[in-house]
Amino acid sequence: MIVSTNDWIVVASAVGAIALVNWYFLFGKRAIAASIGAQGVQEFTIRVHGG
């Protein structure tokens, strides 16, 4: 079986896409949406802009 250059490009692109998706979901920074308050209950602030 002979593997062509196009086959290698497709395989490399697929591996790169999989790595990018895994990096985004596993290592991407996310903003903290809620925090635990003094009573042990989650508290969060809702800001409404323009209304």
- Say if 28 falls within a structural domain: yes
Residue 7 phi, psi (nearest 5): -60, -45
φ, ψ of residue 43 in degrees (nearest 5) = -125, 145
Is there a domain that residue 36 lies in? Answer: yes
23 occurs within a structural domain: yes
Domain holding 21, by residue range, is 5-43
pLDDT at 28: 78
| pLDDT surpassing 80 at residue 27 | yes
Question: Is pLDDT of 24 > 80?
Answer: yes
Looking at the domain assignment, is residue 38 inside a domain? yes
Asked if residue 15 is part of any domain, the answer here is yes
More confident residue, 14 or 51: 14
Helix-strand-coil percent breakdown of the chain, rounded to 5? Answer: 45, 10, 45
Q: How many CB atoms lie within 10 A of CB 27?
A: 7
What would the mean pLDDT of 5-20 be, rounded to a whole number? 98
State how many domains the chain has. 1
Torsion sign, CA atoms 13, 29, 51, 46? positive
